[in-house]
Amino acid sequence: MISSFQKALDSGKFIVTCEVAPPKGINLEKTAHHIDLLKDKVDAMNLTDHQSSVMRYPSLGGALMVKEMGGEPILQMTCRDRNRLALQGDLLFAASRGIHNVLCLTGDSVMLGDHKKAKGVFDLDSSQLLAAIRILEKGKDLGDNELDGSPAFCAGAIVTPEAKPLEPQLIKFEKKIEAGAEFIQTQAVFDLDKFKSFMEYARQFPVKILVGIILLTSAPMARFMNKNIAGVNVPQPLIDEMAQAPKGGAIVKGIEIAGRMIKAIHTEKICDGVHIMAIGKEELVPDIMAAADLTP
């Protein structure tokens, strides 16, 4: 079973993915609206998995929604909340319901979220989850038992191109590829020169790289990310540009900046595609794509 996202990756076209966050609760209207708006415009959409350790409707449920609505889901799976039995079981369920793209993440600490006293599991890590997927595909589980019907996945992972120090992250990046990652969605990138030097290194590996682009919504938001999110560095000129936007025009400026960056990455063929993170403003993804001269 080759997913349409896998086909898009193999086609060599410039890939566009975005994020959809399942709701806090069972009111699925906004999520359904975002899926409906984006399903024919992007190659696939990521369903976040209790992002930032905040308990929400599960990524598996969101991925099923996307599938049922005719879109292409990328199921995000973290290792924070499930042991190896639960992770493998959810992978089998996903495959049985036509969900064939998985993004493997270690997951944030529960201490960063809204259930700080919960037990963080981390029975596996992101590279071991990737390896588990490849084992399931061969008809076995992690206990070396035979499966009755084996799944198939297009598996991916993440990397932080601006991590400090960088080399330990790159060693992990290489292990993820060794474990079976076919695509990489990066942490948010704002400095294209630094990203180009990362790509010069990353090009040697047989993996598709989708650059992470976060929509800036205000100068304080950019400063907040610089202070609080590891590996995210919004350069001062971009913060100044956001600060100088006319009153009420910050979002428009953010869309312009994101569009400009994506367009440069696309036209200069810096990497294989873009992963747009509009964090709660998914309805603006088409505007960002338009600003980047990307047609669905």
Which residues lie near other proteins (CB under 8 A)? 84, 105-109, 111-112, 120, 122-128, 131-132, 142, 158, 160, 163-165, 167-169, 171-172, 174-175, 178-179, 187, 230-231
Q: Which residue, 61 or 231, is less far from other proteins as judged by CB?
A: 231
Judge residue 290's burial from the number of C-beta atoms within 10 Å of its C-beta, 0-12 exposed, 13-18 middle, 19 or more buried: middle
**CA-closest candidate to residue 216, choices 231, 230, 232:** 232
Q: Which residue, 124 or 199, is less far from other proteins as judged by CB?
A: 124
In the complex, least distance from residue 220 CB atom to other proteins, rounded to whole angstroms: 20
Q: Which residue, 101 or 160, is less far from other proteins as judged by CB?
A: 160
Angle of helix 219-228 relative to helix 236-243, nearest 10 degrees?
150
Q: What is the b/e burial string over 199-228, where b = at least 16 CB atoms within 10 angstroms of the residue's CB? A: beebeeeebbbbbbbbbbbbbebbeebeee
In the complex, least distance from residue 21 CB atom to other proteins, rounded to whole angstroms: 18
Q: Which residue, 148 or 167, is less far from other proteins as judged by CB?
A: 167
In the complex, least distance from residue 69 CB atom to other proteins, rounded to whole angstroms: 30
Q: Which residue, 14 or 195, is less far from other proteins as judged by CB?
A: 195
In the complex, least distance from residue 99 CB atom to other proteins, rounded to whole angstroms: 23
Residue 293 CB coordination number (10 Å): 11
Q: Which residue, 38 or 136, is less far from other proteins as judged by CB?
A: 136
Angle of helix 250-267 relative to helix 236-243, nearest 10 degrees?
140
Beta bridge partners of 103: 76, 156
In the complex, least distance from residue 234 CB atom to other proteins, rounded to whole angstroms: 15
Q: In one letter, which amino acid is 86? A: A
In the complex, least distance from residue 124 CB atom to other proteins, rounded to whole angstroms: 6
Q: Are 9 and 208 in contact (CB under 8 A)?
A: yes
**CA-closest candidate to residue 14, choices 206, 295, 216:** 295
